[in-house]
């Protein structure tokens, strides 16, 4: 899915992720939906705030496997890669949150730009 690199685009991305997860059997108040939705909010906000190139959109991909949900957010700015840092003032907490919620996450190069991805495992007791 492609979204405008605006706060509205980031908000819409987050809402569509939550809706799709609910459609896949992971209810809005369930562990998987809450975790992946929060991660999507952070990645989309970062794509808008730190990865924005005027006139370019960001892309989001949500995929499910047998035992994992994978989220990917791509933007076109290569120069700024996400990195964990100590919180300061109003920022720096987002990737700490991602690290706590995701089983794995990382950054992959893309032409142009980068893709930030995260995976959340589905446990046997998980919804759906």
Residue span of the structural domain in which 114 resides: 2-121
Q: Residue 112's pLDDT is what?
A: 84
| Low pLDDT (below 70) residues in the chain | 78-92, 124-128
Q: Is residue 7 part of a domain?
A: yes
Q: Residue 99's pLDDT is what?
A: 92
Q: Residue 126's pLDDT is what?
A: 44
CATH of the domain at 76: 3.30.565.10
Task: Give the separation between CA 101 and CA 105, rounded to whole angstroms.
Answer: 10
Q: CA-based angle 10:123:71, to the nearest 5?
A: 25
Q: Residue 87's pLDDT is what?
A: 57
pTM of the model: 0.86
Q: Is residue 30 part of a domain?
A: yes
Domain count, the chain: 1
Q: Residue 4's pLDDT is what?
A: 87
């Amino acid at each position: 899915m492609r979204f405008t690199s605006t706060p509205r685009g980031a908000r819409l991305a987050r809402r569509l992720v939550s809706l799709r997860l609910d459609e896949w059997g992971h209810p809005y108040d369930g562990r998987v939906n809450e975790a992946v939705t929060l991660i999507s909010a952070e990645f989309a906000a970062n794509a808008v705030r730190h990865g924005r190139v005027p006139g370019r959109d960001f892309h989001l991909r949500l995929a499910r496997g047998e035992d994992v949900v994978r989220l990917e957010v791509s933007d076109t700015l290569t120069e700024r890669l996400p990195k964990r840092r100590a919180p300061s003032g109003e920022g720096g907490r987002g990737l700490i949150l991602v690290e706590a919620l995701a089983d794995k996450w990382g950054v992959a190069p893309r032409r142009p730009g980068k893709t930030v991805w995260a995976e959340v495992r589905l446990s046997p007791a998980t919804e759906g």
